[in-house]
Amino acid sequence: MKSLTYPHFCDLDIEYLGPSLDAGEAPTVIYFSLCAQESLSLDPFNQPAVFLKKKGFRVYSITLPGHGQGFDKYKAMQYWADHLDKLYVFIQNVNKFIDHIVDTSLAKANQIGVMGLSRGGFIATHLAAHPHVKAALGFAPVTNLVALNEFQELNSNPLLEELSLEAILNSLIKKKIRLYIGNRDVRVSTASAFNFISKLAEAAFQKRIRSSNAELIVGPSIGQHGHGTSPQTFDEGASWLEKQIVK
């Protein structure tokens, strides 16, 4: 599976699958997992991207902080903990990229989805707050940085509160959000995922939205630390995301 490099933008490493940029507008998903190239080409991580490409989507992937050349991806979360400022800037730059693909007629506003795996799910959920993003999908997502071992000693860092998903609840209450998690995920915390969805539903209720669009699907844990995602879940989630964007 080949991925194509996107022109340089805001210091982001971007690749994509699907229709050529010359084809103009296409339904769009931005996927976060590892580095851009691995996210789109390395099985099983690329499975939801491949699914959506076959459905006519243009699927971008952007290299996460702490990934790519010169980094050890197995220490990426420690990199995040040590460089919260870079994580903050990364999210701001991806928001600018979303504006850019709409402004250059590569995507239609409200025909953009975001999805992510594990730490990528945290980024995807953050980006769901962008006005042009219609839906967000997370597989075994990080929903609370402080629940991770690498962040245990950072409670006094003011950026932690600013980066918290709870800080953007009101910007998410009208978005379509679906998260999948194992029933005993001890890496990112099943309880944290439930608490986030519960707080998001409560925020929606306080704004007179009685039936929140946010959902959490809990299944049997697989993989190390119960922190795995099955091919079936990848396909089911990608199919859901497709329907949210094109309907």
Both structure tokens of 210: 């009685």
pLDDT score recorded for residue 31? 98
Average pLDDT, the chain: 96
pLDDT score recorded for residue 129? 98
Q: What is the DSSP string of 61-108?
A: EEPPTT-STT--GGGHHHHHHH-HHHHHHHHHHHHHHHHHHHHTTSS-
pLDDT score recorded for residue 47? 98
Burial class (CB in 10 A: 0-12, 13-18, 19+), 20: exposed
Specify the 3-state DSSP secondary structure of 228.
coil
Among 230, 58, 200, 201, which Cα is nearest to 139's? Answer: 230
Q: Average of pLDDT values for 19-27?
A: 97
pLDDT score recorded for residue 128? 98
What are the tens digits of pLDDT across the range 204-243? 999 999 999 999 999 999 999 999 999 999 999 999 999 9
What are the tens digits of pLDDT across the range 146-198? 999 999 877 678 899 999 999 999 999 999 999 999 999 999 999 999 999 99
Q: Average of pLDDT values for 11-24?
A: 97
What are the tens digits of pLDDT across the range 80-136? 999 999 999 999 999 999 999 999 999 999 899 999 999 999 999 999 999 999 999
pLDDT score recorded for residue 33? 98
How sure is the predictor about 16, in pLDDT bands with cuts at 50, 70 and 90? very high
What are the tens digits of pLDDT across the range 42-76? 999 999 999 999 999 999 999 999 999 999 999 99
pLDDT score recorded for residue 158? 87
Tell me the C-alpha distance between 169 and 157, whole Å: 20
Q: Which residues, other chains included, contact 191 with Cβ-Cβ below 8 Å and sequence gap of 6+?
A: none
pLDDT score recorded for residue 55? 97
Tell me the C-alpha distance between 44 and 217, whole Å: 20
Q: Average of pLDDT values for 17-26?
A: 97
pLDDT score recorded for residue 154? 75
Q: Quick check: 196 and 155 in contact, CB under 8 A? A: no
pTM: 0.97
pLDDT score recorded for residue 164? 96
pLDDT score recorded for residue 156? 74
